[in-house]
């Protein structure tokens, strides 16, 4: 009895839970993922099998890479809405140039617009200080315009999906999707870069307190330009992977992935205000969204309803994170 009186003020359960979520954001995310899979299994008994797992991974991988672009840009307090257009452009150019070009040349041609758009984004955000959202939206509009003009010039030559991309996008080896061969190195690279390299630290520093970073001698515009070029390059590679998965080159190929990629990064615990977050959470966020999409498809929710749900998720999670940060 006397013990209780001398003990420090007990911390309420809600506060402890908040602290726990803030310190280890991965655990509640994994729990959420498992709950979603269990719900899926209850709704459609037997759906969760080896084939379903491989399929989920196949569709989650392009989303996870694009969400990686959002994670990195969001760490600096930015966002990259041009990833959809960039991915579509490189996919479309690859599919049309492979017809009468050497694969290497086609690949380089496909990556060219990605680098250009990333560079323009970086200059606009880093030097001219345009808000990243407006800037990347603008470049994606311009990119779409260029793509439409380009489409006219290649209408006669047609398009085909290179066998290699086909293999990478849809193939399975021992039950594992081949896309993992691309994804694992990319993921390791991003995680390593964010946690163990100077560039990664600069991203966190710029996002956490830009003024302090500048005053400590960080060349803001160089960091931002490198970041947006990297983000665009990743988006371009995702486009190549995605065309192997979808197998139908169109002018709006990767557009539907843009909103989910933002949502995946936000769910994964990356703060949209910069300075907080990481890629592991984003990967789980992408898995959660892919499973959620399957679930919504089974429940026959239309595309519109899905978008509404994603919007609410982004808003709710951001508001919740803000509360947690303010609490500390």
Partner 1 sequence: MSRFFRNQGWVAGLLALLIFLFVITKLIQPGYGSGDFGSLARAVLPYAFAVAAQTVVVIAGGIDLTVAAMMALTSVTAASMMNGASEEYALFVVPFVLAMGLVLGALNGVLIVVTRVPDIVVTLATLFVLQGAALLVLGAPGGAAAEWLKASVIGTVPVPGLPDWADAWVPKALVLLVVCLFIIWIPLRRSRLGLSIYAIGSNELAAFRSGVPVARTRIIAYALSGLFAAMGGLSLTISTGIGAPIPGPYLLASVAAVVLGGVALGGGKGGLLGPIIAVFVLRLVRTDLTLLAIDPNVTAIIEGLIMVAVVMFGAFITIRGRPVGATP
Nearer to partner 1, 80 or 186 (CB): 80
Letter string b/e over residues 82-111, b meaning 16 or more CB atoms within 10 A of that residue's CB: bbbbbbbbbbbbbbbbbeeeeeeebbebbb
Nearer to partner 1, 182 or 292 (CB): 292
Kindly report the backbone phi and psi dihedral angles of residue 207, in degrees, each rounded to the nearest multiple of 5, phi listed first. Answer: -70, -35
From 47-55, 60-68, 132-140, 221-229, give the range in contact with partner 1 by CB under 8 A.
132-140
Q: How far is CA 48 from CA 45, 245, 289, in A?
A: 8, 21, 16
Report, in Å, the least distance between residue 16 CB and partner 1: 23
Angle at 263 between CA 318 and CA 316, to 5 degrees: 30
- CA within 13 Å, CB half, 134: 6
Binding mask 45-84 for partner 1 (x = CB under 8 A): ----------------------------------x-----
Quote the CA–CA distance of 156 and 147 in Å, as a whole number. 15
From 4-12, 23-31, 142-150, 222-230, give the range in contact with partner 1 by CB under 8 A.
142-150
Q: In the set 2, 3, 152, 155, which binds partner 1 (CB under 8 A)?
A: 152
Nearer to partner 1, 182 or 262 (CB): 262
Q: How far is CA 215 from CA 202, 212, 264, in A?
A: 13, 5, 33
Q: Which residues have C-beta within 8 Å of that of residue 163, sequence separation ≥ 6?
A: none
From 50-58, 62-70, 129-137, 171-179, give the range in contact with partner 1 by CB under 8 A.
129-137
DSSP 3-state of 159: coil
Nearer to partner 1, 223 or 262 (CB): 262
Report, in Å, the least distance between residue 155 CB and partner 1: 13
Q: In the set 131, 196, 219, 247, which binds partner 1 (CB under 8 A)?
A: 131
- Tokens read off for 161: 């999906």
Asked if 314 and 258 touch (Cβ cutoff 8 Å), the reply is no
Q: Does 30 bind partner 1 (CB under 8 A)?
A: no
Instruction: Return the residues of window 284-303 that contact partner 1 according to CB under 8 A.
Output: 302-303
Nearer to partner 1, 70 or 178 (CB): 70
Q: Whose CA is closest to 169, among 154, 185, 155, 180? A: 180
From 11-19, 53-61, 198-206, 311-319, give the range in contact with partner 1 by CB under 8 A.
311-319
Report, in Å, the least distance between residue 298 CB and partner 1: 19
Quote the CA–CA distance of 285 and 60 in Å, as a whole number. 10
Report, in Å, the least distance between residue 276 CB and partner 1: 14
Pairing of the two strands 172-173 and 176-177: antiparallel
For binding to partner 1 (CB under 8 A), which residues are involved? Answer: 79, 124, 128-131, 133-135, 137-139, 141-142, 144-146, 148-149, 152, 210-211, 259, 262, 272-273, 302-312, 314-315, 318-319, 322
């Amino acid at each position: 009895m006397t013990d209780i009186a001398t003990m420090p003020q007990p911390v309420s359960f809600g506060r402890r839970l908040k602290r726990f979520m803030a310190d280890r954001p991965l655990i509640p995310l994994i729990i959420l993922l498992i709950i979603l899979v269990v719900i899926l299994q209850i709704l459609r008994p037997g759906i969760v099998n080896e084939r379903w797992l491989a399929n989920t991974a196949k569709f989650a991988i392009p989303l996870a890479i694009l969400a990686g672009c959002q994670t990195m840009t969001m760490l600096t307090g930015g966002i990259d809405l041009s990833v959809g257009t960039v991915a579509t452009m490189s996919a479309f150019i690859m599919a049309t140039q492979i017809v009468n070009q050497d694969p290497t040349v086609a690949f380089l041609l496909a990556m060219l617009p990605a680098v250009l758009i990333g560079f323009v984004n970086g200059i606009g955000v880093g030097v001219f200080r345009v808000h990243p959202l407006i800037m990347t939206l603008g470049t994606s509009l311009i990119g779409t315009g260029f793509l439409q003009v380009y489409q006219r010039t290649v209408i006669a030559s047609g398009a085909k999906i290179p066998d290699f991309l086909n293999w990478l996008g849809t193939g399975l080896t021992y039950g594992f999707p081949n896309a993992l061969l691309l994804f694992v190195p990319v993921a390791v690279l991003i995680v390593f870069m964010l946690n163990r390299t100077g560039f990664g630290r600069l991203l966190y520093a710029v996002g956490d307190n830009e003024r302090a970073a500048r005053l400590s001698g960080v060349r803001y515009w160089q960091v931002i330009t490198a970041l947006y070029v990297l983000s665009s390059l990743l988006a371009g590679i995702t486009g190549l992977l995605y065309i192997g998965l979808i197998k139908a080159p169109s002018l709006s190929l990767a557009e539907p992935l843009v909103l989910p990629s933002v949502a995946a990064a936000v769910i994964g615990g990356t703060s949209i205000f910069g300075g907080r977050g990481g890629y592991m959470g984003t990967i789980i966020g992408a898995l959660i969204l892919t499973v959620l999409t399957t679930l919504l498809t089974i429940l026959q929710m239309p595309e519109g309803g899905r978008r509404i749900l994603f919007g609410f998720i982004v808003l709710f999670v951001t508001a919740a994170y803000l509360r947690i940060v303010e609490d500390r």
